[in-house]
C-alpha cells in the first residue's frame, strides 16, 4: 500500500484561484508533503525561530483551516483512483508521524 500514486487536492481560501494539486509516488510521501506545507507556514510566521516544534493538534488545525483538502490514491487492483477526505488525511498524517518517531 505504500507505493500508491497519490494526488492531494487543496484549496487554501474561498477564491477558486487558490485551488491546486500536488502529486506524490506514495501515500507516505504525500503525508510528508502536507507536513512540509505546515512547517513552511510555521517558518513564514516565525522567521526568527530556528527549531520549530508542533504537535498533532497544531497540524490538524492547519488542515481544518484549509477550505478544502482531499486525496486521490491509485488502487492497482481496480486500476483507478479512490477518493479520500480530510479526516482520512488527518488519520494518515498521524500514522505517518508516529512511524517517523519510532
Residue 82 lies in a domain: yes
CATH number at residue 58: 3.30.2260.10
Question: What is the tally of structural domains in the chain?
Answer: 1
Whole-number percent of the chain with pLDDT over 90? 84
- The domain in which residue 70 lies consists of 6-101
Residue 1 lies in a domain: no
Spatial strand order of the sheet with 80-84 comes to: 19-24, 6-11, 68-75, 80-84
**Whether the model pTM is above 0.85:** yes
C-alpha cell of 79?
Answer: 486500476
| pLDDT tens track for 48-92 | 888 888 999 999 999 999 999 999 999 999 999 999 999 999 999
* CA atoms in the 13 A half-sphere facing the CB of 91: 7
Are 45 and 34 a contacting pair, CB within 8 Å? Answer: no
| pLDDT tens track for 87-101 | 999 999 999 999 988
d(CA 25, CA 46): 31
pLDDT of amino acid 2? 56
Amino acid at each position: 500500500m505504500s507505493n500508491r500514486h497519490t494526488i492531494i487536492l487543496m484549496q487554501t481560501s474561498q477564491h477558486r484561484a487558490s485551488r491546486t494539486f500536488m502529486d506524490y509516488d506514495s501515500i507516505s510521501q504525500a503525508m510528508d508533503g502536507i507536513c512540509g506545507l505546515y512547517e513552511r507556514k510555521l517558518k513564514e510566521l516565525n522567521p526568527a525561530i530556528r527549531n520549530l516544534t508542533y504537535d498533532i493538534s497544531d497540524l490538524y488545525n492547519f488542515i481544518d483551516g484549509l477550505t478544502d483538502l482531499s486525496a486521490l490514491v491509485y488502487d492497482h487492483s481496480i486500476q483507478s483512483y479512490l477518493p479520500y477526505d480530510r479526516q482520512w488525511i488527518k488519520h494518515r498524517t498521524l500514522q505517518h508521524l508516529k512511524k517517523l518517531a519510532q
